[in-house]
A and B are shown apart, each in its own frame.
Chain A
Amino acid sequence: MATNHLQSLVQNAKLGHVDSFGKIYDLLVDRIYRFIYFRVDTKEETEDLTEEVFYKVYQKIQDYCDEGLPFEAWIFRIARNQIIDYYRTKKDLSSFDDKIEIEDTGPTPEEYTVKSILQEEVLRAVKKLPDSYQELIILKFIEGKDNDEIGGIINKPEAHVRVLQSRSLKALKKVLEKDKKI
């Protein structure tokens, strides 16, 4: 995606051009959806959060200043905060959830045939990791972002991202070894 094109869309969106918001949505929805998908439990939650992220973008776009943080990183930061809020709310409601018998949301045998079992196991292993490791693995190894941009998204220095990267990979390896799946 041409960064300049995105920047001009952002400028127009700031001026209140609704079409530009639509184009920003088209450009980034897949990435934001995927980022959320790997962090939450269900497709429905992913969809809800994705919608909310774009609405937040609309609400906060006047605050966005393109000095330093690229717009895409800024949007990922919003998505990240949205996920944090989601888990915070979920934690608050967990006392109620404990009393409700929740339907198993794991993949059905049919789904297994479609999905790569290996992919599924790795994804499950990723979801067992602490939040910061999950975040880094998704941004670095799935989305292919560089350390600078990740630093911008998680609001940490690049050196911290490097340390986190090494630790998260080690942790993932450990989980997979424990499961003996890879």
Chain B
Amino acid sequence: MKENILITLKSLKGMSEASPSSTFKRNSRARFIERINQETSLVLPKRSISTRWAYSFAFAAILLFFTGSTVFAAQSSLPSDPLYPVKVASEKVALALSSPIPSLKSIIAEELVKRRENEYKELEKNNRQDLLEKAYDSYQKSLKDAKGVGSTKNENVLRPNSQLKQEKSSPDKKITPTDAPNTPKSNRGNTQKSVTETTKENQKDGVGSSGNSQKPQDSNSNSKSNK
């Protein structure tokens, strides 16, 4: 009897019902592959151990960039604050550690552009004319850095302070920080040049030392005009 049972059990393997139909196999296989394709398009590919380490460092950098007690406190600081150097240092570390992942580096660079832009706006709001030019330079540098790591998201949205002052003095024009500069797009890379040129023009026209109650924005130009 035991043998009969064993033979019957073995024969169950050949039962047609115990085998998948060819239609099921075809459709199920197609669904399986489609599911994998969908997921692999969403998930980052698996990487080697060394790359994973690099990723871990990079994410640690991000963590450091946005959190960490002193560093976190420093993130909202302005160039005039004592914690500002901590902020800048943490940003440099984050950028350096994110270098194995270009996409991540690009994200950080974009974030830095936003920060520099906000700092500039804050200083402007606080009427810190003495720091505006430096903040503008930092903004331009961050833009250049972001473009250097392949970011295309950031556009130059700030105007040189001298231009702002000039336009503030003219009642016809309403100034918004998001206005594009007057220079054509192809000349935007030369913004730095236009700042000095505009400053010189302002000096000639006496705009820099007009009756405006605001502090002069350029210490060099001020010293020249004082002379």
Contact = CB atoms under 8 A, between A and B. Distances in A.
Contacts, number: 91
Contacts of B16: 114
B33 A22 contact: yes
B20 A122 contact: no
Nearest to A22: B33
B25 interface: yes
A14 B12 contact: no
Interface stretch (A79-87, A95-103, A137-145): A137-145
A50 B25 CA distance: 10
Contact of A34 (B5, B13, B33, B35): B13
A33 B2 CA distance: 27
Interface string B10-27: 111101111110001100
B40 interface: yes
Given A55-B35, A176-B5, A182-B1, A22 B29 contact: yes
Contacts of B31: 51
Contacts of B46: 14-16, 62
Given A119-B8, A182-B1, A143 B13 contact: yes
Contacts of B35: 55, 58
Given A18-B37, A47-B28, A142 B5 contact: no
A13 B212 CA distance: 71
Given A43-B17, A142-B10, A182-B5, A16 B40 contact: yes
Nearest to B19: A30
A47 B24 contact: yes
Task: Please report whether the interface of chain B is mostly helix, strand, loop or mixed according to DSSP.
Answer: helix
A173 interface: yes
A54 interface: yes
Interface residues of A, number: 41
Interface residues of B, number: 31
Given A34-B19, A38-B12, A51-B31, A173 B36 contact: no
Which 4 residue pairs of A and B lie closest in terms of their CB atoms, listed nearest first? A141-B9, A33-B20, A122-B8, A34-B18
Given A58-B32, A144-B10, A182-B4, 7 more contacts: A16-B45, A47-B20, A116-B11, A122-B9, A141-B9, A173-B1, A173-B5
28 contacts: A16-B46, A18-B36, A21-B32, A22-B32, A26-B29, A29-B20, A33-B18, A33-B20, A34-B13, A37-B18, A47-B20, A55-B32, A58-B35, A58-B36, A118-B8, A122-B8, A122-B9, A122-B12, A123-B12, A126-B9, A137-B9, A141-B9, A142-B10, A142-B13, A173-B1, A173-B5, A182-B1, A182-B8
Interface of A: 14-16, 18, 21-22, 25-26, 29-30, 33-34, 37-38, 43, 46-47, 50-51, 54-55, 58, 62, 114-116, 118-119, 122-123, 126, 137, 141-144, 169, 172-173, 176, 182
